[in-house]
Amino acid sequence: MSADIGRIFHALSDNARRSMVEELSNGPLSVSQLAQPFDMTLAAVVQHVNLLESCGLIKTYKQGRVRTCELETTALIAAEKWLQGRKRLWERRLDRLGDVLSED
Amino acid sequence: MSADIGRIFHALSDNARRSMVEELSNGPLSVSQLAQPFDMTLAAVVQHVNLLESCGLIKTYKQGRVRTCELETTALIAAEKWLQGRKRLWERRLDRLGDVLSED
DNA sequence: ACAATAGTCAAGCATTTGCTTTAGTAAAGG
DNA sequence: CCTTTACTAAAGCAAATGCTTGACTATTGT
């Protein structure tokens, strides 16, 4: 569970993979379509796609010879929740601190 | 701006650094205190702290010989916003798709 | 049947990452 | 003053990462 969070953040730390996720948030694309904006081999793009799928950021299905990639929100939500959790703890602490300071 | 997002995600992709952020969300700690739970040299922890600070996840100030680390929410919020943005686009697209399908 | 398209697999390679060790500096405490 | 504490800076190293190339498979179009 919390080990997966690391893999999600790692996936999103790469500029190319983050761009791919951005493209896919506008709708599904084939691997070749996804590869088009990038100055790298199709083989490299496939490796990125595999990594994105393995950590649950995208889902893919193949029909005929074309593999279609589609965004999956579950990993996105998991990462969001982790960030919110840290922020919430921090803010709650500041609130308690404020309470103590405003005592008379 | 969007280049920084990559550095934030990269910082959070490491288990040790993510644990440090988790610890710091409960309140500020000195570098030595922060290092205590980890099976690694202080020098290694300092390197993590430097990286966390350089991408805006934490803030540090030194007084005497002790350097205190404190969580900063700005980077946390930036990452959260990016994730929300992707999720929102994707969900809006699903909504439009639903509208088209429910036409009579 | 033959070629073009779409993707896959494996090996190899330069760079980056996460550490370590060693050698320092500066502030506190006895 | 001398030692301990808290951290820092630099060099080095093994493992991981992001690519490439080359060879290959499976589907589609002519």
Nearest residue (CA) to C1' of D27: A65
Which nucleotide shows the minimum CA-to-C1' distance to residue A66? C6
pLDDT of residue A1: 55
**pLDDT at site A19:** 97
CB-based contact A73 B87, cutoff 8 Å: yes
Tokens of B81: 């916003």
Note the CA–C1' distance, A1 to C6, in angstroms.
Answer: 34
Across the interface, whether the CB atoms of A91 and B83 are under 8 A apart is answered no
pLDDT of residue A3: 66
- Strands of the sheet with A29-30, listed across from one edge: A29-30, A66-71, A58-63
Assess whether pLDDT exceeds 70 at residue A78.
yes
Is there a contact between B83 and A79 if contact means CB atoms under 8 Å apart? yes
Of A10, A14, A25, the CB nearest to B86: A25
Which one of B3, B22, B86 has the shortest CB-CB distance to A86?
Answer: B22
For chain B, what are the domain ranges?
2-101
A56 or A104, which is more confident: A56
Mean pLDDT value across residues A85-99: 88
**Per-residue model confidence as pLDDT tens for chain B (104 residues):** 566 999 999 999 999 999 999 999 999 999 999 999 999 999 999 999 999 999 999 999 999 999 999 999 999 999 999 999 999 999 999 888 777 766 66
Q: Is the pLDDT of residue A80 over 60?
A: yes
* Predicted pLDDT at A2: 61
Q: Which fold has domain B2-101?
A: Arc Repressor Mutant, subunit A (1.10.10)
